[in-house]
Amino acid sequence: MADEVIGTKEVNFQDREVPDETVGEVFVNNPRMTARNVSVYYAEKLAVDDVTLDVGSSEVIAFVGPSGCGKSTLLRCFNRMNDTIDICRMEGKINIDGDDINDPKIDVVSLRARVGMVFQKPNPFPKSIFDNIAYGPRIHGLARDSVELDEIVERSLERAGLWSEVKDRLDQPGTSLSGGQQQRLCIARAIAVGPEVILMDEPCSALDPIATAKVEELISELREQYSIVIVTHSMQQAARVSDRTAYFHLGKLVEVGETKQIFTRPVHRLTEDYITGRFG
Amino acid sequence: MTRSTDSGLLSPQEAAVRVAASLKKRGRSERRFRYLGIAAITLSILFLVLLFAGIFTKGIPGMFQHYVTLDVVLDKGRMDPQGDMSEASLYSGDARGLVNESLLIALGSPEGRKAKRAARSILSSGSASRLTEFTLKHPELIGENVAVKFAVDDDIDSFMRGFISRETPESDRRINDETIEFVDRLDQASLISYEFSDYLFTGSASRDAEIAGIKGALIGSIWTLGVCLLIAFPLGVATAVYLEEIAPKNRMTEIIEININNLAAVPSVVFGIMGLAIFILVFGLPRSIPLVGGIVLALMTLPTIIISSRAAIRAVPPSIRDAALGIGASKMQTILHHVIPPAMPGMLTGTIIGMAQALGETAPLLMIGMVAFIVDVPGGVTEPATALPVQIFMWADFAERMFIQKTSAAIIVLLAFLITMNAGAIILRKKLERRWQ
């Protein structure tokens, strides 16, 4: 059990059942990112309450839970996307490979190159497919010349399983692709800057089942190389793609464990109620 | 057909009857609304047609004027007293005498001072310099006998147009009987022609309506607008970007925002007074110069540009910003690469509309002295100038009949510029517009 999880904030939750301590194993042997006692406030409102959790190397961890449980907020802490929200304030510590991501010495730009993000709605730039992928490497100076850049673009698209579909129309706008292709383009764009971790915020919620299947397939392929944190509302998706699952409720991390165990033998009653569809 | 007793709700039949009744009422009020709308649009189109018809019926004739074609012998000795064909020499020559002699010959050499004076009053006072300019342009024709068109005096022009009647007693007329007789003689000899006025676009301000043109005012307007654009566009876009993307949302920025919106509603003459008080009285800049005019108009245009630029920036979906930030673009890179480019059409549209507004503005320019009578075409932003709308304002004040027509002609030119600019804004927006997802 987590030693670091100590005490709770004086917050008047309507749901008294929320545990003070997380059930299950929050630590892993070879963590890529570690969150320790992370709390996030929007102004005075507590959105994430004292969460401690590891993200392992080469694993897919799924964040599940009802709307407003803080899973997306926590996800956005991992690459400091919450910095863009004025009223958002984070407490606690998040490390990547042992480096504190909130350390003033760490440039948020380099952090986001290490921790890529894929959003809920496919959001390609209104530019050509090529430029969509090439933008990241360009601003980070990853390619020494145009040949190298071409190679990065091709590799990234290949990795995202999109190369064969778009190789003949790289100069067409990224927005001309179908929704599923756009989302894979966004994944390729994130891969292109060579991240260690990819954060996915409900990446399939705007996609049809076939496109969803393709993205899930892609996630399974990418897990070899990257740590993937995926927020999802779909229990089946979490069960299909993730190695570990973390269940959040009202800002608290209620339970975390092997996906198989969470879905077959949940320990906490809230987890059980949620995954069996009794609420949420 | 009555209330169902248990629930207190209407029965379906009763509800249907009531809905049908209310439907009729709704239909009536919708029709009424539509007719009102059609009436309003018809009325505004009618007024627009009346406005344009009025301007064009007055303004198109104002673009033409009467000319007399005279055979002039370009006597070298008299045209070019110093004999070197230089500008100074030609301007010191006796062009006036040559023109007058040619006119008298065309009129059959009338005798007597009174008759000669009547004959001279036919030609515009700008005729001598017209002959000099002609010689400057065609130096090879010196010594030859050439046919040159000279503008007639504005009173004669009004007479030719029928605004001055022969029936009026001579004492009440602006031109005497002898002059009328001479004009008739020229007319019978087909020497008087009605042509597109070359003075309108090439002439500058003048007390003589027949040689007055808008060139100086037009150039002045271009200088002024140039200054205005150079100041207002970068400043407006930068302000909009700062307020939308960078500034923290707090009470301070809220106050700034409210004040910018208020500024958009401040009467333009107030900006003129401010320009006078600050730029001329405090900073000691000269009066009547396009630099000050441009700065004042820029201040006036700023709110328009800021408001439209902010709207354009806000229209860029936040998901694009997230995407850029998400792969590690810095704030500045996100703004420069992903926010400003798609917002540019909206910003430019606002700017062009603001510029069009500034082009038509008179009051602030009056306050800073750009209403002066300036004959020279301004060669820069620090030379005294006037602007097109101010020129129109000044001409509208003159009593001569011909100035009324020139005023209308200038208004057409101004309108043409405004319509071109607005059309440009629309085309630009259509062309650069990007579609999201």
ipTM: 0.85
Q: CA A243 to CA A223: how far, in whole Å?
A: 10
Instruction: Measure Cα distances from A277 to A115, A258, A274 in Å.
Output: 32, 19, 5
Q: Which residues of B touch A126 (CB under 8 A)?
A: 320, 342, 434, 436
Q: Which of B327, B331, B338, B434 best probes binding to A when mutated, by most A CB atoms within 10 angstroms?
A: B327
Report yes or no: B381 and B230 within 8 Å, Cβ to Cβ: no
Contact B328 A109 (CB under 8 A): yes
A-B C-beta contacts closer than 8 Å: 72
The pLDDT of residue A23: 83
Q: CA B182 to CA B405: how far, in whole Å?
A: 25
The pLDDT of residue A1: 37
Phi, psi for residue A39 in degrees, rounded to 5 = -125, 140
Task: Output the CA torsion A130→A135→A141→A144 (10° steps).
Answer: 10
**Is residue B5 predicted with pLDDT exceeding 70?**
no
Q: Which residues of A touch B325 (CB under 8 A)?
A: 81, 84, 112
Q: Which residues of A touch B340 (CB under 8 A)?
A: none
Instruction: Measure Cα distances from B368 to B66, B219, B400 in Å.
Output: 36, 18, 27
Q: What's B194's DSSP letter?
A: E
A127 in contact with B at a CB cutoff of 8 Å?
Answer: no
Contact A126 B322 (CB under 8 A): no
The model's pLDDT over B289-319, given as tens digits with 9 standing for 90+, comes to: 999 999 999 999 999 999 999 999 999 999 9
Contact A139 B328 (CB under 8 A): yes
Tokens 């407003």 identify what position? Answer: A68
Tokens 């008087």 identify what position? Answer: B192
Contact B328 A81 (CB under 8 A): no
Once rounded to an integer, what is the mean pLDDT over residues B88-116?
88
Contact B326 A116 (CB under 8 A): yes
Residues in contact with B317: Cβ distance below 8 Å, sequence separation at least 6, in sequence order: A123, B436, B437
Report yes or no: A246 and A63 within 8 Å, Cβ to Cβ: yes
Of B249, B325, B328, the CB nearest to A86: B249
Give the β-pairing of A244-249 and A60-64: parallel
Report yes or no: B237 and B347 within 8 Å, Cβ to Cβ: yes
Give the β-pairing of A227-231 and A197-201: parallel
Contact A112 B326 (CB under 8 A): yes
Residues B175-181: contacts with CB within 8 Å, 24+ apart? B175/B121, B176/B118, B178/B114, B178/B115, B178/B118, B179/B118, B179/B119, B179/B121, B179/B122
Phi, psi for residue A197 in degrees, rounded to 5 = -125, 140
The pLDDT of residue B307: 94
The pLDDT of residue A2: 39
Of A84, A86, A122, the CB nearest to B325: A84
Q: CA B193 to CA A32: how far, in whole Å?
A: 92
The pLDDT of residue A5: 39
Q: CA A25 to CA A33: how far, in whole Å?
A: 15
Q: Which residues of B touch A118 (CB under 8 A)?
A: 326
Which parts of chain A register pLDDT below 70? Answer: 1-20, 279-280
**Is residue B155 predicted with pLDDT exceeding 60?**
yes
Q: Which residues of B touch A189 (CB under 8 A)?
A: 323, 327
Mean pLDDT of chain B: 89
User: Hey, what are B1's tokens?
Assistant: 């057909």
Contact A125 B434 (CB under 8 A): no
The pLDDT of residue A280: 53
Report the gap between the CA of A265 and the closest CA in chain B (Å): 36
The pLDDT of residue A12: 38
What spatial distance separates the first Cα and last Cα of chain B, rounded to whole Å? Answer: 53
The pLDDT of residue A279: 66
Of A113, A123, A139, the CB nearest to B323: A123
List residues bridging with B72 in a β-sheet: B146
Report the gap between the CA of B425 and the closest CA in chain A (Å): 22
Report yes or no: A188 and A133 within 8 Å, Cβ to Cβ: yes
Q: CA B211 to CA A30: how far, in whole Å?
A: 91
Percentage of residues in chain B having pLDDT higher than 90:
52
The pLDDT of residue A98: 87
What does the DSSP assignment read for B244-310? IIIS--SHHHHHHHHHHHHHTTS-HHHHHHHHIIIIIIIS-PPTT-HHHHHHHHHHHHHHHHHHHHH
Q: Which residues of A touch B323 (CB under 8 A)?
A: 119, 123-125, 186, 189
Q: CA B237 to CA B246: how far, in whole Å?
A: 13
A27 in contact with B at a CB cutoff of 8 Å?
Answer: no
Residues in contact with B415: Cβ distance below 8 Å, sequence separation at least 6, in sequence order: B55
At B9, is the pLDDT very low, low, confident or very high (cuts 50, 70, 90)?
confident
Sheet holding A99-100, edge to edge: A45-56, A31-42, A88-96, A99-100
The pLDDT of residue A8: 40
A200 in contact with B at a CB cutoff of 8 Å?
Answer: no
The model's pLDDT over B20-49, given as tens digits with 9 standing for 90+, comes to: 999 999 999 999 999 999 999 999 999 999
- Work out the burial of residue A160: count CB atoms within 10 Å of its CB; fewer than 13 is exposed, 13-18 middle, 19 or more buried: buried
Residues in contact with B313: Cβ distance below 8 Å, sequence separation at least 6, in sequence order: B240, B241, B244, B245, B339, B340, B343, B346
**Is residue B168 predicted with pLDDT exceeding 90?**
no
User: Which H/E stretch holds residue B29?
Assistant: helix B12-62
Report the gap between the CA of A51 and the closest CA in chain B (Å): 23
The pLDDT of residue A19: 59
Q: Which residues of A touch B243 (CB under 8 A)?
A: none
Pick the closest to residue B221 from B360, B388, B407, B375 (CA basis). Answer: B388
Once rounded to an integer, what is the mean pLDDT over residues B136-159?
90
Q: Which residues of B touch A42 (CB under 8 A)?
A: none
Instruction: Measure Cα distances from A28 to A10, A55, A78, A258 in Å.
Output: 29, 7, 17, 11
The pLDDT of residue B436: 45
List residues bridging with A42 in a β-sheet: A45, A88
Tokens 């022609």 identify what position? Answer: B193
Pick the closest to residue A53 from A237, A241, A246 (CA basis). Answer: A246
Q: What's B86's DSSP letter?
A: -
Helices (H), A12-89: 71-77
What spatial distance separates the first Cα and last Cα of chain A, rounded to whole Å? Answer: 26
Q: CA A100 to CA A3: how far, in whole Å?
A: 20
Report yes or no: B209 and B402 within 8 Å, Cβ to Cβ: yes
